Chain A
Amino acid sequence: MSILQIKNLHVTVETDQGTKEILRGVDLTIRSGETHAIMGPNGSGKSTLAYTIAGHPKYTVTEGEILLDGEDVLAMSVDERARAGLFLAMQYPVEIPGVSVSNFLRTAKTAIDGEAPALRQWIKDIKVAMENLRMDSSFTERNVNEGFSGGEKKRHEILQLELLKPKFAVLDETDSGLDVDALKVVSEGVNRAKDSVGFGALLITHYTRILNYIKPDFVHVFVAGRIAEEGGPELAERLEAEGYDRYVNA
């Protein structure tokens, strides 16, 4: 059983207009096996929270802490966090020319596990995971995210989730840009990975649509850099009906 604690997190970015505070005191605790949905309007700071957990250098933590099983995550480099068991499925995955998916996956797996995976099992694991995600096997020969469609990029993120088996997964708008069929395939992938690995998930989304496939235990409404309300799955339904106006204008 693992626990990820975010306490009173304040985060700023440098902009042309000076330093801007984006997160203003976020408190959140996630345990293994739990699924938390974070829902909020554009620009409320959802991706900032995700990137800050992963350690993106653009974001500066001015106050608060993030603890993974009591360990100080903020003191870790980006790659140390990943090796400690944090995974971020990105809203906009990056292209890496000349680096094949298979080379990338093997390098990542080796880094995370601290040793190279046994070759035959590894090839089999990739094959099965790709079949489940309805990805063509030729993807492994392509360069990372290069020329991938929006949906293919998202599948590739979930492929990594299945193979790297983190303790906690942050999924930043994994549902955006997917049609209903792709959404189903990707959601199944997340559920499968979750069932086999038992990670805690932080699911960031605008829409309730994905919550029909990935059932949240908790729903957090994120507005203006902090959590404005928390509840169970029923809160998502209310947001679906009422939108965020109530919080934004409050």
Chain B
Amino acid sequence: MTSIINEHSHGLAPVQMRSERKRSTDIADFAAISKTEEQWRYLDVERLKGLDAGILPAFDGEISFTAPAGAAHEIVGIDHDLFGSAGTPEDRVSAAAWGAAGQIHVLRIPANFSSTEPVRLEVTGASEAPGALHVVVEAGTFAEATVVIDHRGRAVLAENIEIIAGDESKLKVVSVQDWTRDSVHVSAQFLKLGRNAQVEHIAVTLGGDTVRVTPTVAYAAPGGDVNLLGAYFATAGQHFEHRPFVDHSQPNCKSNVTYKGALQGEKAHTVWVGDVLIRKAAEGTDTYELNRNLLLTDGARADSVPNLEIETGEIEGAGHASASGRFDDEQLFYLQARGIPELDARRLVVRGFLNEVVQKIAVDDIEERLSATIEAELARSIN
């Protein structure tokens, strides 16, 4: 099945193919942020609290690392080979943070590593001073690992995360955005997959004032398989934006994108823009992207835009789906008709909806914490 869909051209933003977007490590190459640019069209620049102003100082919060034996955390300079090896900034904030701290945090998962215990990096903010952070996750050949990057506390943070999945590796990376209500976080996450690498990337955004996560996938060799998952829950006044991008430049690679969001309260705003580019060389590509949003109250807004740009006809499959809607009355009726009170029925539906993603994390304490947060948000205002 082949379908060619391109939705770049609607609204205010000028037509720009994803393949033509500017990449640079130099902030001077990016103009001041403006809504006329497609990638910033939904965000009020003041919300960034200065992350776009210029080259940023280092993040002043706390960073802690725990991991099973074999995995290591190192801090190295930006002259290190790994720096910039998985990607190049594609927006002004990412460039403002690029190399700005003069050092990078490397999580090293050696070849043939295997553990069911996760590698954890806890990033805990402590102030509203704008800062930059750079993290590199490197998984060696045949490594099998789960990495959790857990963002908490109060921060105004511009972050670049490079994720390098070696040949034949199986890597799961979970990025949790669980900030205080006034925090700002712009996180560019660059994934590079080696031959036959299988990567599951899960972004869960539950807390912050403004959070923007842009996972970008590049394939260094054929056979890569990526699963990009996301769950977010925005309440009154919060702006959560997720822009996954999969750049199919190699043959016989797969990508699957599934993001689910719930919104409740006045001016809760979520944005999902899913770009998939299938280049000429990427024969045998199989890709599907999906975004679903559940609007729990009036006054919330979910923007959802899937884009598929296809330069070759020799593909296995490409498709997308996007839907935003209210509670399904029939679902509530069904649950209530089995004796479940309305409030519990609503909670069950929302929890179930987001759980489809959260349960993929498979790290018990993180899942429990996120479920409890979702539960608390629901208890606060669904009635």
Known: A79-B345, A96-B331, A107-B344. A54 touches B337 (CB 8 A): yes
In the complex, per-residue mask of B331-372: 1 if CB is within 8 Å of any chain A CB, else 0: 101111111111011001101111110010000000000000
Whole-angstrom distance between the alpha carbons of A149 and B310 in the complex?
35
Q: How far is the CA of A82 from the CA of B333 in the complex (A)?
A: 11
Most buried by B among A57, A79, A94: A79
Residues from chain A with a CB closer than 8 A to the CB of B341 are 79, 111
By beta carbon, the residue of chain B nearest A108 is B338
Q: Which residues from A are CB-within-8-Å of B348?
A: 96, 99, 103-104, 107
Which residues in B have their C-beta under 8 angstroms from that of A57? Answer: 329, 333
Question: Which B residue sits closest to A113, measured CB to CB?
Answer: B339
**Shortest distance from the beta carbon of B353 to any chain A beta carbon, whole Å:** 5
Whether A190 sits at the interface, judged by CB under 8 Å, is no
Residues of A within 8 A of B342 (CB): 77-79
A79 and B340 contacting across the interface, CB-CB below 8 Å: yes
B330, B336, B338: which contacts A77 (Cβ < 8 A)?
Answer: B336
Q: Are A111 and B340 in contact (CB under 8 A)?
A: yes
The minimal Cβ–Cβ distance linking B118 to chain A, given in whole angstroms, is: 23
- On whether the beta carbons of A93 and B334 are closer than 8 Å, the reply is yes
Cβ A78 vs Cβ B356 within 8 A: no
Give per-residue flags for A90-114: 1 if the beta carbon is below 8 A from chain B beta carbons, else 0: 1001111111000110011001100
Question: Which A55-81 residues sit within 8 Å CB-CB of chain B?
Answer: 55-57, 77-79, 81
* Option from A55, A82, A96, A164 in Cβ contact (under 8 Å) with B352: A96
Do A94 and B331 touch (CB < 8 A)? yes
A88 beta carbon closer than 8 Å to chain B: yes
Residue of B nearest to A84 (CB): B339
Given A82-B339, A111-B339, A111-B341, answer yes or no on A94-B352 (Cβ-Cβ < 8 Å): no
Least Cβ distance of B60 to chain A in Å? 39
Q: A79-B341, A107-B348 are in contact. Are A97 and B356 (CB under 8 A)?
A: yes
B339 touches A83 (CB 8 A): yes
Which residues of B are found within 8 Å of A98, using beta-carbon distances? 351-356, 359
Is B338 in contact with A111, judged by CB distance below 8 angstroms? yes
In the complex, what distance in Å separates the CA atom of A218 from the CA atom of B327?
A: 39
Task: Report A-chain residues with C-beta under 8 Å of the C-beta of B356.
Answer: 97-98
Q: What residue of chain B has the Cβ atom nearest to residue A93's Cβ?
A: B334
Q: Judge whether B337 and A96 touch: CB under 8 Å.
A: no
Query: For residue B353, which residues in chain A have a CB less than 8 angstroms away from its CB?
Result: 97-98
The interface size of chain B toward A, counting residues with CB under 8 Å, comes to 25
Q: Is the CB of B340 within 8 A of A107?
A: yes
- Asked whether, in the complex, the Cβ of A78 is within 8 Å of the Cβ of B352, the reply is no
User: Whole-angstrom distance between the alpha carbons of A95 and B330 in the complex?
Assistant: 9
Is B328 part of the binding interface, using a Cβ–Cβ cutoff of 8 Å? yes
The reply to whether A96 and B349 form a contact with Cβ atoms under 8 Å apart is: yes
List, in ascending order, chain A residues with CB within 8 A of B351's CB. 98-99
Cβ-defined contact, A96 with B339, below 8 A: no
Contacts of B328 in A (CB 8 A): 94
How many angstroms from the CA of A239 to the CA of B359 in the assembled complex? 52
Within 8 Å by CB of B335, from A96, A112, A164, lies A96
Q: Please measure, in the bound complex, the distance between the C-alpha atom of A172 and the C-alpha atom of B355, giving whole angstroms.
A: 31
Q: How far is the CA of A227 from the CA of B351 in the complex (A)?
A: 43
| A176 interface residue (CB < 8 Å to B) | no
A residues in contact with B335, CB < 8 Å = 96, 104, 108
Bound complex: CA A94 to CA B345 (Å):
13
Closest A residue by C-beta to B350: A98
CB contacts (< 8 Å) of B331 on chain A: these are 94-96
Q: Which of B334, B354, B359 contacts A90 (CB 8 A)?
A: B334
Q: Tell me, in angstroms, the Cα distance from A56 to B330 when the chains sit together.
A: 9
The CA of A164 and the CA of B337, in the complex, are separated in Å by 11
Smallest CB gap from A111: residue in B = B339
Residues of chain B within 8 A (CB-CB) of A164 are 338-339
A-B contacts, 24 of them at CB < 8 A, read A55-B336, A57-B329, A57-B333, A77-B342, A78-B333, A78-B342, A79-B337, A79-B340, A79-B342, A82-B336, A82-B338, A83-B339, A90-B334, A94-B328, A96-B334, A96-B348, A98-B351, A99-B349, A104-B335, A108-B335, A108-B339, A111-B344, A112-B338, A112-B339
List 12 additional contacts besides A78-B337, A94-B328, A98-B356; criterion CB under 8 Å: A54-B337, A77-B342, A90-B334, A94-B331, A96-B335, A97-B352, A98-B355, A98-B359, A104-B348, A111-B340, A111-B341, A160-B338
Interface residues of A (CB under 8 A from B): 54-57, 77-79, 81-83, 87-88, 90, 93-99, 103-104, 107-108, 111-112, 143-144, 160, 164
In the complex, the 10 A-B pairs of residues with the closest C-beta atoms, listed nearest first: A98-B352, A99-B352, A108-B338, A78-B336, A82-B339, A111-B339, A112-B339, A79-B336, A94-B334, A98-B356
